[in-house]
Structure 1
Amino acid sequence: MDRDTKQKLKRIWFLRSLLGLAMLVTLGFCLRQVQAVSTHTAMHRQAQEQLQTQELRQLLRQLLRQTQEHLQEQLQTQEHLQEQLQTQEHLLRQLQTQEHLLRQLLLHMQQVKQELRQLLLHMQQVKQKSNQAWLFLGLSVLGCMALLLLLLSQQNQVSLTLTGQLFFPEECIAELEALHQRMKSQQRPLWFIRLKMLQEIVELLWAFHVHIKFENLWLPGKNSKMDE
């Protein structure tokens, strides 16, 4: 081989070596760029993931806060409803108690009304009995006074004694006879003797008949009488 050929071969080999070296350098540069891009991409992804994670955490915190606030509002609302229910139950109990008291009051008023009716009936009966008793007593007194005046006008001691036994005890009749004899022995006027005897007889009638029967009107029971 001549020199020109060798030089050409050397040049070709040198160019090929340079080309291979350039390719190696380019390949290394490309690999570094790829690594840098991949690293940058990974870092960017990590940053995005961190940002997303932070945003998710913030969202979760907000959701938790909102949930807690909502739960607190629900608890407050439930407590308020329970208080209202307790208040309504208390009012219902008060209304039931008042209704029971009103029923008892109505029953008591009905009982009082019945008692008042019975009392009015009893008062009417007592009034009727009192009127009848007063009428009977008045007629009895008038009859007795007329009979006594008739007896005194006759001046008959035997008739006075027999008639007095119908109305008075024996002691009263004896006292009347003694009074009559004493006034006669004293020679009192006839009108004075009659007036005094009439006064004594009226007092005895009042004491033994009118006063006792008047007191018997206010005694309890229908057939109760005072012992003479």
Structure 2
Amino acid sequence: MIDLYFWPTPNGWKVSILLEELGVPYNLIPVNIGKGDQFEPEFLKISPNNRMPAIVDHDPVDGGEPISIFESAAIMTYLADKYGRFMPSELRARTEVNQWLFWQMGGLGPMAGQAHHFRLYAPEKIQYGIDRYTNEVVRLYGVMERRLADRDYLAGDYSIADMAAFPWVSRHERQGQDLNDYPILKRWYDSIAARDAVKRGLAVGADLPQVTSLKSDESKKILFGHNNK
């Protein structure tokens, strides 16, 4: 059994989508990031960066003690390797997936996340910040638009690279984007959104409040102002 430490955000949905695609049973453990669950000592033992998602695999392939993993890309690579799906073993194909997985981790996720912050959550409307990150998302969507012009998925076959990027693109409106401006990207998005496992993965945590519903100053301070000291 796998314990999934989760809250309904793009990073959380990456892992829930993958688990649903794999058909692997898992135990959902909510981490209420608006109340500060991510700073609890027991969670920090699993995720020292005080971020979810994280997993604990109680049945690792080496037969040893349960293994805990934080960082969504590390989790996805681990699960894909364990179950032999959505991550190629051949060198060149694997390198393609890794490139686009790390592109999402280093570019799309952080930049889209900053766009969310300055457009939706910042207590002051700082136009420079709004423009800076909205425009960077435009650039990154353009990268995907060009990449997908001659292929169905980011790195050959459908893979964890697509699953990592998809939840961030699913929040395009919050990033000031209209997918009709990116017809090739929209085709990719619609094809993934139609997958039953993706629908199930996005439905995980539907009964939990999303970050956009945070209203109190205290919740916002916990989420955006805590320095973990």
Quickly name the TM-score band, shorter chain normalised. under 0.3
Relative contact order higher in (CA < 8 Å, ≥ 6 apart)? 2
Structure with greater helix share of residues: 1
Structure with greater strand share of residues: 2
Q: Scaled by the length of structure 1, what TM-score is found?
A: 0.21
The higher radius of gyration belongs to: 1
